Structure 1
Amino acid sequence: MKKMLNGLAVLTLTMAFALPAAANDFEPQIKEFYNSTVKAWLTDPAVIEAIKAQNGETSGFDAAKIDTLDKQWRDEAKAGSGPLVDKVSANPLSAWLKAKKEEAGGKIAEAFVMDAKGLNVGLSDLTSDYMQGDEGKHQKTYGSGGDALFIDEVEFDESSGAFQSQMSATISDGGKPIGAITIGVNVEKL
């Protein structure tokens, strides 16, 4: 009987998260997490300097170069390693993001920072692609200006095994947007 009740509780929770909603029901808690924790990260020198350095490297990249790098990333991500994936995964900003994820006590499923083109600068966990610039997480933040915050719908993330909502924000330096950050918030831990 206890097993059946536990199964029903899991099914009920799963159905509650699976039902479509007009808006993200966790938006108030996600905004609170953003204001209390993540917002301070946006001005951290480790974040700002890493983005500025990469923007200097990637500012001249055209669509063909970005497509080539994105394909390389996807191939390396499937393999679990490679020069481009390893360069980003092992850099100081990635170590910083991994530490922030650990400090969050399970509230963060993933975290990554993008440059002005939407290319990964640092990450806590491997992303499936290198180029985020064609997605809402970059377009609705970096593309919208200095104080933009975009909270996406709750979805089940198979890689983390949790229901999460991606929260993305513009990162600026001296009032000028230079990149963006995305945090996969585990809504079950809010």
Structure 2
Amino acid sequence: VKDLHIPILGDIPVIGPILFEQNLLVYSSYILIGVSFWFIFYTRHGLNLQSIGERPEAAYARGIDVNKLRYFYTALGGFLVGLGGAAFSLDVKLGWSDGHIINFGWIALAIVIFGGWHPVRAALGCYLFAALQLFALKLQPVLPQLSQVLPIIPFPLMIMTLLFINHRKIQHLVLKNNVFGRFISGRAPSALGESFQRL
């Protein structure tokens, strides 16, 4: 997949080539983060989505078809995950083999959970994990004796970082700031994993 250089932004030292010399799928993901945030928190459909995860009974009482919406958003999520998997095979780790994306599903799940089910926090967690992986890759020629250990370091380090961010004392400090506190805090939807039966 061909990379596209964005003039001026792509010329910024260090971060320019990282963020602004990417392909269309990566640029689309930047936009999708903002769109997801706006959609979930600032639109009627987004509020309906939140309601079927928090209080499906109340959503049903308001005339929302809870199971239909759940299936729709699950399918949409599956489509986006499939798109990400295709992009991974075509652009990040070329080709396909058994265990091609082994362990990445667990990391994605950990990022979503510890990211507080918030689209921006989850995206930042993904970028942090990718940065840790790149850092480990760059260290391999410098420390060849640790070449087997370095690629797996980002996995526990990412989980430890997210656990630290969600520690009670850290949460208490950030919650003093209303705007930042709302951004960094999060919890699982109340009805996560619970089936809904219409009355």
Q: TM-score, normalised by structure 2?
A: 0.28
Bigger strand fraction: 1
Is the helix fraction higher in 1 or 2? Answer: 2
- Choose 1 or 2 for highest CA Rg: 2
- TM-score scaled by structure 1? 0.29
